[in-house]
Amino acid sequence: MTEYSRMAKGKFTSTGAAQVVNLPFQPDYVEFLNYTVANTAISGTANQNNVPQAWWDVNMGQGFAIQQVYVGATPSVLQFDTVTANGISTFSAGQLLQFGPTKQVVASTKGATTSFQVTSHGYFPGDVVIFEGLYQSATTGMPQMDGIPFTVITRTDANNFVVEWDSSNATYYTNLSASPSGAKVKKVLYPYLYFPGVSFINAITTGTTTTISTTSAHNLVVGQEVAFRIPQSWGTVELNSLPNVLTPGAPAYGYVISVTDFNTVVVNIDSTNYTAFTTNQTVSSVPGLSYPQIVAVGDVNTGGVLISSGSALYPPPQYMPISTTTFNTINGPAIRGAYVNNTSQGFVIGTGAGTVATSSSLVGDSGDVIYWRAYLHDMSVT
């Protein structure tokens, strides 16, 4: 029966990390081909433990898979194998934030960006994390960074990563060391359930236009109307939408005139004579500390793109989680100007190894091109 079946296909370039694929359904069957591995095998130089093909059925259980894998010395021999953990699984984000495992922060390093040491963190650029308890002692540390989302901008290595927060000249910040008790970090599994939403501000450059840097992806677009919420201690309070000294009772808004990248945006507000922005908040202020925010307002928010000659007929809304790369949501089409519900569902291809080829990685190596197909069948007969 195929009356209500759903099918989808696509491709991605592996980063070597688990790959999340968003779909408008949760599949019960997934298969993929690693074109890079298969193409290498044509020359007879397929590397040991490479996986050219794999399959998953919901009846196997979450995280399982059947794979074909090259084993033995080059040229390797292709054989079947099974994956029993970190294989292929499905997910549904729901309407509330979900988190990965809590990990211990070993140390931190101040700078124009801030680096953290977390043993076997498993984070990659574009992942969003939240810190808690960043105290070195009762009165020192970096708890000023607690409780807000940060995009991982650099994976230094398996034990170190970098986030966007300027602590270089922040006298009230102290580097963490020796795994202080309570200093933890966890990954936000599906951070963009709605967007553009609210973004936390990391830096402000004043001038005839105003440049805003955010701690995680702002997902704003050119033409967007925005408001600011900046507590007194952070400076640049002149950007705040209220009070409006020109028109009492009416909020003062700005407009996005350019998007530099995923966490930098320029608005049309002349802030030449405004107070300088600072992240140098005291540790003692942390209980109850309010953070500076930029918020999308009004009628010009992200949504569908215009349908015109040469464009897709039903374009889905897009978001920009890192760099300048945009991703389609599972929604579409959307009314242009609407906030987007990006509640996620789909499947994940993990980094699990086989039971025979114990050094294999299902998702392949960084740079591998993978073609996938996913299905949701009308009925399942057992």
CATH 2.40.30.180 assigned to domain 193-341? The reply is: yes
pLDDT score at 336: 65
Biggest CA–CA distance in the chain, Å, is 77
Q: SS3 for the chain, per residue?
A: CCCCCEEEEEEEECCCCCEEEECCCCCCEEEEEEHHHHHHHHCCCCCCCCCCEEEEEHHHCCCEEEEEEEECCCCCEEEEEEEEEEEEEEEECCCCCCECCCEECCEEECCCCEEEECCCCCCCCCCEEEEECCECCCCCECHHHCCCEEEEEEEEECCEEEECCCCCCCCCCCCCCCCCCCCEEEEECCCCCEECCEEEEEEEECCCCEEEEECCCCCCCCCCEEEEECCHHHCCHHHCCCCCCCCCCCCCCEEEEEEEECCEEEECCCCCCCCCCCCCCCHHHCCCCCCCEEEEECCCCCCCCCCCCCCCCCCCCEEEEECCEEEECCCCCCCCCCCEECCCEEEEECCCCECCCCCCCCCCCCCCEEEEEEEECCCCCC
> In a structure prediction context, what are the per-residue pLDDT tens digits for the chain, which is 382 residues long?
456 788 999 999 998 988 988 888 899 999 999 999 988 866 666 678 899 999 999 999 999 999 999 987 766 788 999 999 999 999 888 777 889 999 999 999 999 999 999 999 999 899 999 999 999 999 999 999 999 999 999 999 999 999 999 998 778 999 999 999 999 999 998 888 888 878 999 999 999 999 999 999 999 888 888 999 999 999 999 999 987 666 777 788 999 999 999 999 999 999 999 999 999 999 999 988 999 999 988 765 555 666 666 766 666 778 888 887 777 777 766 666 667 777 778 999 999 999 999 999 999 999 999 999 999 998 877 6
Count the Cβ atoms, other than its own, within 10 Å of residue 311. Answer: 10
Q: At 143, give phi and psi (nearest 5°).
A: -65, -10
Q: Where do the CATH 2.40.30.180 domains begin and end in the chain?
A: 193-341
Phi-psi map region of 16: left, alpha, beta (phi>0 left; psi -120 to 50 alpha): left
Closest by CA to 353, choosing from 120, 143, 50, is: 50
Cis before 196 (ω within 30):
yes
Can you give the pTM of this predicted structure? 0.81
Nearest 10 degrees: Cα torsion 152, 155, 159, 162: -50
pLDDT score at 262: 94
Burial of residue 293 (CB within 10 Å: 0-12, 13-18, 19+) is middle
Check: CB of residue 256 under 8 Å from CB of residue 222.
Answer: yes
CATH 1.10.8.50 assigned to domain 103-188? The reply is: no
pLDDT score at 245: 67
